[in-house]
Structures are given as structure tokens and as C-alpha cells.
Amino acid sequence: MANSKDFCVAHYTGKVTYETRNIPRKNRDFLPPEMIETLRSSHNGIVKQLFSNQLTRSGNLTLTSDQNVLAATGKKKRWGAALVGSDSTKLRRYNTESRGEFSQTRRMRTASSVFRASSLEILKAMTGGGTKFVRCIRADLSGTPGGWQSEVVKQQIRALGVVDTARARQKGYSCRVTFADFIQRYRFLAFDFDEPVDVTKENCRLLLIRLKMEGWMIGKSKVFLRYYNEEYLARLYETQVKKIVKVQCMMRTFLARKRVAPKLASRQASRDSADGKFSRGCSVDAT
């Protein structure tokens, strides 16, 4: 770089130059402690509480419900009830799962650390559920109504992988599965349970060959299957799962009978003993 304070990163979509002159100042984007102390001395109980509580790792404010806030405001709970909490709840935290750990005036966190913590929380939430991505394309960079810049749109389409997806669809590979998901889902169809299987391109190819499938392709990180390959794998998967469930059912029945058999034998012995005593008692009364 011509300027020693700048650096360039070669991203997937192209090279981006970053300027480092104002990074330290923007990273320390703190609210002045004097302003925080002034707001803490406010006569409004809610404002005082907002600037007195600690912050979370992601920069969120942790609110606690306290009856003293209601007494300080002197107002009935209306819309603010959700903010300060109910009388029965002494301690309730909002906005985040983590607890407040950082003061608003001491040990203040930088913008980069807050951004990193927020990104980790978002990633954790995304991995726990079914994520759907909506990819938007800008028609132009100036925001002009009805504007259109072909090069800008073409670059975005290429960066989002739309061209590769269209080519794969055109060739008939409607199903695209990553190596990890493919091995995890179908490994038991072609490999033994005690056979170690690593997530590699060769093992995916070996699995397809052992199943005697045709018309598939192996990419850099995914397995490309045609519609009939997906249907064939679904039928094999369903058949094998039914067999596994049947074996599990029979094994659980056997273990249940084995566990209950001693109890049934003991109960039958007690019943026979009681019947014998009853029979002997009846014979004595008859004599």
C-alpha cells in the first residue's frame, strides 16, 4: 500500500481497502462518564435505573425490576409495567441471556469487542434453529428511483453464487448436500457401524459407489444429486430406519420381559403359597 496506515484485504468478491486513521477513536466510542453521573442523579427513577445498571457482553442494558422504582416514580403501572417488572418479581433480567458484567463508567468495552460478542450471540441463535437467508441485490449505488447499473448487479449475482446455482439447476442437480451432512445422514447405508468414516470427498464417492448410484457429481464441498438419486436415497433410508426400529422394538421387548420375569415369578410363588395355606385352612375346618 502507498499509505502505511491503510491495508487491503482480498475478499471473495474483490479487494477492499481499509483506512486505519480513525479506527482507535471510533473504537472508543464511549458516553462521557460525567453525563452518565448526571443522569444517575436524575429524579426520574426509571432514568436513574437505566444509567445505574451494568451492561452485558453484547452492550445491552440489563434491567432489574425493583419496587423502589415504582415508589420513586409515584405512578401506577401502565405501559412502564413491562419495563420495570411486576411486584412479585424481585429480580428479572431482559434483552439477553448473559448477566450484566460491565459498568457504564468503569471497565468500558470497546465497539469492536461489543460487535464481536453480538456476532457470537447471533451465530449461536442461528445454529440452533432453521435459518433462511434472503439475498437482496441493489439495482444501483446511488439510490435513484428506477436506476439500473448492469455491472453492479452482475458483480452481486456473481458474488452470491447465483450463476453457479443456475448452472447446477440447468444440469439437473436439484439436490446439493455438504460432505458433512451427506456422511452423517447416509453413512449407515454403506458403511459398518464400527467402521471409521471421516468427512472427506473420497468417502462420499465411496458411499455412492457402494450404493451403485449413477448420475451424481462431487464438487469442492458438496455432493450434487439428481432428483432420482435423492428419491433412491430416501427409499433406502426409510427402509433401513424401519428395520432398525423393528430390531429396537424386539430388543426392548426382550429386555422388558427379562426385567419383569423375576417379579412375575415371585408374585406367582406368593400366590401359590397363599392358595396352599387357604386350602389347608379349609380342610381343617371341614374336619
Q: Which of 81-90, 167-176, 183-192, 231-240 has the lowest mean pLDDT?
A: 81-90
Do 114 and 49 fall into the same domain? Answer: yes
Is 119 inside a domain boundary?
yes
For residue 108, what pLDDT band results from cuts at 50, 70 and 90? low
For residue 205, give every residue at least 6 positions away whose Cβ sits within 8 Å of its Cβ, in sequence order, or none: 218
What are the pLDDT digits (tens) for 199-224?
Answer: 999 999 999 999 999 889 898 899 99
Do 74 and 35 fall into the same domain? Answer: yes
Q: Considering the chain, what is the average pLDDT of its residues?
A: 77
Degrees, nearest 5: CA angle 50-51-55: 85
Do 46 and 110 fall into the same domain? Answer: yes
Do 157 and 105 fall into the same domain? Answer: no
What are the pLDDT digits (tens) for 150-204?
Answer: 998 988 888 888 887 777 777 788 888 999 999 999 998 989 888 888 999 999 9
Is 108 inside a domain boundary?
yes
Do 43 and 154 fall into the same domain? Answer: no
Do 58 and 159 fall into the same domain? Answer: no
Do 85 and 155 fall into the same domain? Answer: no
| Count: domains in the chain | 2
Domain, as residue range, for 164: 133-140+147-170
Do 11 and 100 fall into the same domain? Answer: yes
Do 100 and 165 fall into the same domain? Answer: no
Is 258 inside a domain boundary?
no
Is 24 inside a domain boundary?
yes
pLDDT recorded at residue 281? 62
Whole-number Cα distances in Å, 287 to 189, 259, 276, 281 = 75, 44, 17, 10
What are the pLDDT digits (tens) for 110-165?
Answer: 778 888 888 888 888 877 777 777 888 888 888 888 889 999 898 888 888 888 77
Q: Cα–Cα distance between 225 and 228 in angstroms, integer?
A: 8
Do 81 and 10 fall into the same domain? Answer: yes
Do 49 and 107 fall into the same domain? Answer: yes
pTM equals 0.38
Q: Cα–Cα distance between 214 and 224 in angstroms, integer?
A: 11
Do 33 and 73 fall into the same domain? Answer: yes
Is 280 inside a domain boundary?
no
Is 218 inside a domain boundary?
no
Is 212 inside a domain boundary?
no
Is 52 inside a domain boundary?
yes
Nearest Cα residue to 28 out of 108, 87, 91, 90: 108
Residue where a domain terminates, one of 127, 158, 180: 127
